[in-house]
Amino acid sequence: MRFSVYQESRKGARRVNQDRMGYLYTRDSILMVVADGMGGHARGEVAAQMTLQTMASIFQRDAKPTLPDPPRYLEECVLTAHRELHRYRAENNLPEAPRTTLVACVVQDGVAVWAHVGDSRLYLLRGGLIVARTLDHSRVHHLVSSGLIRPEDAKDHPERNRIFNCIGAYIAPTVEVSRPTALRNGDTLLLCTDGLWGALTDRQIGDAFTGSTVMRAVPELMDFALAKAGNEADNCTAIAMTWAGSESIDMIPPTEAPVSTLLIPDGAVASTVQIPRAGEPGSDEELTEDQIEDAVAQIQRAIKRSAKLVPGK
């Protein structure tokens, strides 16, 4: 496989960055994940981190070098993370579990499958046009789809932040999984939180990737979104990947050298997913050492329990 990928997260005007992101790949499979910890609930960054790490750990366990069933993998990860957040709540005597939204995508054999919970989004861009996009699990999207408000009124609607589907809520999340979609050389997949898309139009997002690399387009979109939101700017996070297929790179700009997974040894997994330590850049000193150690222990137990639930493991 060959692809170009770029990720970035900014705090915006918030005190803490509760977003988490990362991507992993083997020789034949790619996973991209963006999680947006919900600030209206305690420890949103813990929810996002635990969900991200759960997905990464199960990917490392099951991608040998491809996932046998990407839709099942995506749903299993979300439900495992949901269970572990409630276990974390019980063990820490919290009034409610930490919560997060999520968007994740698996690409293997030139086919993308994605899933989302909440209002973190995936865009599939082709030739500067959005050919597919996730639909938010939100009150405002319901109002728009029902014809009760106009799409252009959604950004300023007083209920624009009301999410009815997330990981960690009182009821299990509904995992919306896409149909398998074959990628063409030059297609771009953008996964992002509402801190990015909430300040932009679909056309602005599509235009940013027209004739531009992901390394340039993502920072430019972030600059624009944060400037437009001003003092109300939310955490802003995105991963963008441009597909170059397995042979041709003609549609990738010459200044952007794609990753070749042929360089990955058999059985190895390359990963950008890390657990932040308190006091390090990006941690915002919000997670204490005890919270991080507890989250790590929760994740490891989750993977062991999850393995017992999978037939043949």
Q: What is the CATH number of the domain that holds 52?
A: 3.60.40.10
pLDDT at 284 over 50: no
Quickly count: other Cβ atoms within 10 Å of residue 178's Cβ.
18
Contacts of 274 (CB under 8 A, 6+ apart): 22
> Which pLDDT score, from 0 to 100, does residue 313 have?
45
Residue closest to 275 by CA, chosen among 22, 5, 7: 22
| pLDDT band for position 180 (cuts 50, 70, 90) | very high
Read off the pTM: 0.84
Range of the domain at 84: 2-309
Residue closest to 23 by CA, chosen among 242, 235, 236: 242
pLDDT at 286 over 70: no
Q: Residues 86-94: what's their mean pLDDT?
A: 92
**216 touches 132 (CB < 8 A):** no
| pLDDT band for position 256 (cuts 50, 70, 90) | low
Q: Residues 125-132: what's their mean pLDDT?
A: 94
> Which pLDDT score, from 0 to 100, does residue 278 have?
38
pLDDT at 275 over 70: no
What's the domain count of the chain? 1
**278 touches 294 (CB < 8 A):** no
Residue closest to 31 by CA, chosen among 127, 103, 137, 98: 103
Q: Write out pLDDT tens, residues 36-60.
A: 999 766 789 999 999 999 999 999 9
Any long-range contacts for 69-74 (C-beta under 8 Å, 24+ apart)?
70/106, 70/108, 70/113, 70/180, 71/113, 71/115, 71/177, 73/106, 74/104, 74/106, 74/113, 74/114, 74/115, 74/175, 74/177
